[in-house]
């Protein structure tokens, strides 16, 4: 199904029958991707007295409870409420879900004792292109990212000036295949989060950060339309399903 999307920068044709899902599904066991020192998510039948929510065990329906943390257990989108005293819901700050996006691949570079995504790398990868969304795939990029246990591994992250560059460029939605844009153990500094949301100035309340994506190697770098689908949780973060669509040539 080919449709035309009208955008501030022009009209684009996409094929809605060819989605490129870059989310990580949530599983209720130890094979689920994980970070921040939490136990795996749980998906288990609800029980109440004689009732058990599992047909194979005599129940009338399958009726599962799901216990998880959106920040630790899979693809999620977060708003500035992640770092503010006052409550901000990612579900209520914006209502448009299609964005012009650029997919770029970055090999994090050595910085002190860490590996980071630097401003210079993004300047080179993006050039003068201005996009509403930027999707960062880091390498090496293997299917191990679908089940990796990140706690205590000090994964790569964005430097403060890297996030500030994206904010200055007008990027509203940042997506990355890491558990966080910030260093795992930074004593709560959260420098990249704060820079992207302009925390010390006029807060960019409509901007979002999506973490724990997975961009298969078969998806080439380039310009796409992004459909950023979110579960409607009134929370600072919610499970999400970012989907890319190739832009068709005229």
Give SS3 for 100: strand
Q: Which residues on neighbouring strands pair with residue 223, listed in sequence order? A: 102
Nearest-angstrom CA–CA distance, 195 and 201? 10
For 2-26+74-248, which CATH class?
alpha beta
**Strand 2-7 and strand 98-106: pairing?**
unpaired
In total, the chain counts a number of residues equal to 250
Nearest-angstrom CA–CA distance, 134 and 74? 19
Nearest-angstrom CA–CA distance, 182 and 159? 8
Provide the 10 A C-beta neighbour count for residue 204.
18
List the pLDDT tens digit at each of the 250 positions of the chain: 888 888 877 888 999 999 999 999 999 999 999 999 999 999 999 999 999 999 999 999 999 999 999 999 999 999 999 999 999 999 987 778 999 999 999 999 999 999 999 999 999 999 888 899 999 999 999 999 999 999 999 999 999 999 999 999 999 999 999 999 999 999 999 999 999 999 999 999 999 999 999 999 999 999 999 999 999 999 999 999 999 999 998 6
What was the pLDDT predicted at 96? 87
**Strand 42-45 and strand 47-48: pairing?**
unpaired
Sign of the CA dihedral running 248, 24, 174, 81: positive
Nearest-angstrom CA–CA distance, 5 and 223? 14
What was the pLDDT predicted at 250? 62
Q: Is the peptide bond before 140 cis (omega within 30 degrees of 0)?
A: yes
Q: Of 150, 202, 201, which Cα lies nearest the Cα of 180?
A: 150
Where along the chain do its domains lie? 2-26+74-248
What was the pLDDT predicted at 176? 98
What was the pLDDT predicted at 9? 77
What was the pLDDT predicted at 205? 94
């Amino acid at each position: 199904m080919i449709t035309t999307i009208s955008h501030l920068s022009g009209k684009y044709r996409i094929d809605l029958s060819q989605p490129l899902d870059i989310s990580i599904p949530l599983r209720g066991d130890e094979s689920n991707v994980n970070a921040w020192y939490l136990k795996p998510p749980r998906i288990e039948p609800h029980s109440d007295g004689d009732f058990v929510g599992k047909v194979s065990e005599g129940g009338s329906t399958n009726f599962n409870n799901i216990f998880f943390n959106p920040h630790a257990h899979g693809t999620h989108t977060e708003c500035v409420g992640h770092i503010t005293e006052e409550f901000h819901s990612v579900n209520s700050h914006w209502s448009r879900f299609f964005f012009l996006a650029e997919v770029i691949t970055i090999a994090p570079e050595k910085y002190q004792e860490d590996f980071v995504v630097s401003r210079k790398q993004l300047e080179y990868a993006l050039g003068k292109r201005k996009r509403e969304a930027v999707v960062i795939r880091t390498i090496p990029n293997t299917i191990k990212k679908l089940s990796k246990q990140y706690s205590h591994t000090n994964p790569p992250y964005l430097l403060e000036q890297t996030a500030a560059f994206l904010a200055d460029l007008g990027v509203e939605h940042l997506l990355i295949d890491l558990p966080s844009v910030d260093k795992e153990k930074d004593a709560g500094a959260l420098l990249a989060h704060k820079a992207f949301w302009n925390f010390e100035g006029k807060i960019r309340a409509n901007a979002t950060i999506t973490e724990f994506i997975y961009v298969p190697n078969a998806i080439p770098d380039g310009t796409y339309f992004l459909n950023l689908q979110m579960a409607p949780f009134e929370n600072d973060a919610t499970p999400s399903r970012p989907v890319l669509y190739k832009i068709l040539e005229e």
